[in-house]
Amino acid sequence: MVILNPFDLIAAIPLLPLMAFLITLFAGQFTPSLLPKRGAIPGILALSGSLLISLSLILPVYSGDSFNKSAYLWAKWEVSDLHFGFLIDPLSALMLVIVSLISLLVFIHSLGYMNDQNEQGLFRYYAGLSLFSFSMLSFVISDNLLMSFIFFELIGFCSWILIGFWFREDAPPRAATKAFLVTRFGDYFFLIGVVAVLVIFGTANFAGPNSFPVLAKSAILLGQNLHGLNPQTWVTIIGLLILGGVVGKSAQFPLHTWLPDAMEGPTPVSALIHAATMVAAGVYLVARIYGFYALSPTTLAVIALIGGLTALLAATMATVKHELKQVLAYSTISQYGYIMLSLGAGGYVAGIFHLTTHAIFKALLFLGAGAVIIAMHHDGDMWNMGGLREKLPITYWSFVFGSLALAGIFPFAGFWSKDEVLLEALNYGLGGSPILLLGYVFGLMAVFVTGFYTFRMVSLTFHGSPRSKAAKDPHSIRWNIKLPLVVLGILSLVAGAINMVPLGDFLGSDISYLHHWLDTAPLDLTAHHYHELLESFSGYHSAHFSSIISAILSLTIALSGMALAWKIYESPNPTESGTIYSTRFNTIYHILTHNYYQDDYQLMIANLIRNKFATVANLFDQKYVDGLINKISSTSLSVSNVIRKIQTGVVTNYVFFLSLGLLLILFVFAVWGGWF
């Protein structure tokens, strides 16, 4: 009996959704009657297969096996070879399960959200979802930076398609274009970083003795001079360039402005973008090349500072939003800020932990928001909701579970991961880094604000009395919407069990399974190895602050924010209460509603650059492009006028010019050949 090796099926993980994309696209165009559920079934079957294969990798990876192999060499040059390959280690194996699971649940949820609403163009929608899943899964298993960049860009293209799905309306195409352009701005820096890696180190591989993180480490230890600069300087420059793409994709300050507008797309798409694909791609890339970032304390400090600041600013902006999906969008920006803070502060495991839990509870909250919006007859304004708790019990309780996880309330998943993020930032900050301490303060302040806006959202949506006709008589919710909510609700409660550091310290036992999981990777990709790099090259040292005290502190602050929201909005007339406080703090409220005027100044800068560029381009066009063309045409006309006078039609004239030409040729030959 032949036992199939799961590593032999790795290519099938992304190829299955790619096949679903092709089937849905072409069958939807030519034979739509052959596809039931208007294209959803191929995607559901494909993602089910991808999930099963991804789960089959867990056991061999846990046993210490890994897979790193080049699949196809498509270019070879003097500096490096360019190829497609696969890298399966604990990090990528975990991410494969997350992406395939969330994608599958989004497909199932779409059956109720999209199909039951009789949406048009569903073949295009499901084809886009399948291509989106293919792109992210391919990105996760990529074994080199160039391959990652290619799929990084394809992820952005898919987001443009899906955000702008309702292209006949005005807002979705504008939102899709904004997302595409803002993320492309960051990707330009990423591309320069990829080229720099290939030129400086001669390889773009993530793992192995000839990978660019290992070569960079060796160059620093040997004190080599690389193209006139210190190798650590190159690491800093390249790290910051790649960070440009990360900041764009993961919607970090100041390139976060596209994500709230992206809510113009269908809600299942929002869930996929926020939980498991596009926004997750950036922070996953930082984790993927963490051995490279750990060599540069400057880059790590920038990552931590951006993350902490983003976590706080985005959380404050979420406190004043009226649209349910808008609140969740800013919460996504804030939570990915926490992940960036953790990675910048040396908390590699904590960052991966929060990436995992956030994928679960954020997918739950977005799909729950989709259920609420359907029930509200596609009205997403929270001020028009209220009183939905009794009428949507499954949606309510699953949404509450996701909200408790988001706010970091014990014992839900977000409590364990967020606390570990803050603990790592505090420990390394106290170990000698004031910037990390500042990031920790930002993160701790964001805990209070998160508790506030989260339960403001729950209260306005589900509690109190109905404030509109739709809230009094909500639309019914079918099983295909409820099922993903139940699955994700349970996971939001239990997923924290993979790494309960405070409880382990309290009981005097080791309950940090994720730490052990990530240490089963090849030697240059383990969490332990990254810790050694942080100490040796970045000067990071942990102060070993009590995890129990840290957990109690963050929980208390979160509950305080929750209590404040409860006091304001748990009233017979929350609209009036909210108005009172917005009037009392009018200046702050005005600033927050305008998102710190970030869209305004970015638009001003863009228009300034565009206008200046347009002026220069217009002058160049008129003087050189049009000038050259006009000169060529005028010269052609002049020459043609001369030739036209010669072309008289008189045979004797033609004989004369032929004879003259022959004499000139003979004269040239005579001079050239020395006849004279």
The pLDDT tens digits for 554-580 are 999 999 999 999 888 887 777 766 666
Residue 2 confidence (pLDDT): 52
Residue 136 confidence (pLDDT): 95
What is the pTM assigned to this prediction? 0.88
Can you tell me the distance from the alpha carbon of 134 to that of 566, in angstroms, rounded to the nearest whole number? 42
With a pLDDT cut of 70, the percent of the chain lying above it is 93
Contact 471, 376 (CB under 8 A): yes
Tens of pLDDT, residues 287-340 = 999 999 999 999 999 999 999 999 999 999 999 898 999 999 999 999 999 999
Tens of pLDDT, residues 636-676 = 777 777 766 666 666 666 677 777 777 787 777 777 766 55
Q: How many C-beta neighbours within 10 Å does residue 77 have?
A: 8
Q: Which element (helix H / strand E) includes 82?
A: strand 81-88
Residue 673 confidence (pLDDT): 64
Query: Which parts of the chain sit beneath pLDDT 50?
Result: 1
Tens of pLDDT, residues 370-400 = 999 989 988 888 988 988 998 899 999 999 9
Residue 35 confidence (pLDDT): 77
| DSSP conformation letters of 431-464 | TT-HHHHHHHHHHHHHHHHHHHHHHHHHHHHHSS
Tens of pLDDT, residues 258-276 = 888 888 888 888 888 888 7
With a pLDDT cut of 90, the percent of the chain lying above it is 52
Residue 46 confidence (pLDDT): 95
Contact 440, 425 (CB under 8 A): yes
Residues 6+ apart with CB under 8 A from 376: 384, 385, 468, 470, 471, 474, 475
